[in-house]
Structure 1
């Protein structure tokens, strides 16, 4: 379904294979999604895995304009993940690529398949810091300005790579 163009923020992470290359390829694929365009993206960040073991993650956040509805966008993101060999053996498993819809316009979505805003985005430095880099005034529906939430994640281990 095509909808009026909507600004969406996408969280990107990878910690298997060439994680940085996987993040860069995801950015290129986001730019090529039909009916949309990549508006901007953050620098790359390194963060430790949450609630699991494994290599550190490379993370970024992209801002896109899309004509896809939220469910269709989620399906497109899953297609990009599958192209990278993404498997989902258990929650927080290491992954070749992870793409999450963080924000979809100012919508609040709560279905079995999709929750927007992403329900844990305000608890994760690897989401908030790259998001604030590209959208310092962004508001998270139901939570308020993202900047006001950054202090709560300040102790988390995260490093900007470029």
Structure 2
């Protein structure tokens, strides 16, 4: 079952550091730091491939997840601006929940586990232009509303 409490709002930006400075200065948000690593992901167009992610997340709820643009991925930008990208919710069982809604809300991209398992970590779904992310619960991470 999908937890209806919003975890974060994803925003794609042209330059991560510039966006972090602007959001801190204008909204007073604080950051957990920058997550910068390569993850295996799967989509219908490219199959499984490694994608370099550079993300910053605020400490305040609902969190802002700011993602540096990545060409030829769901995180691509057409110009030099910020773009509201997705809403994110925790799934009780990522595989089951993402499969259940995949008919009306197809999976755009999914995380791949170390052993090639799909989905792992997250799935992105799109319905009528709205993109949302389902997250796999992780040990030690606070889930909103629990």
TM-score normalised according to structure 1 size? 0.33
The structure in which a higher percent of residues are strand is: 2
Report which of the two has the higher share of helix. 1
How does the TM-score come out when normalised to structure 2?
Answer: 0.35
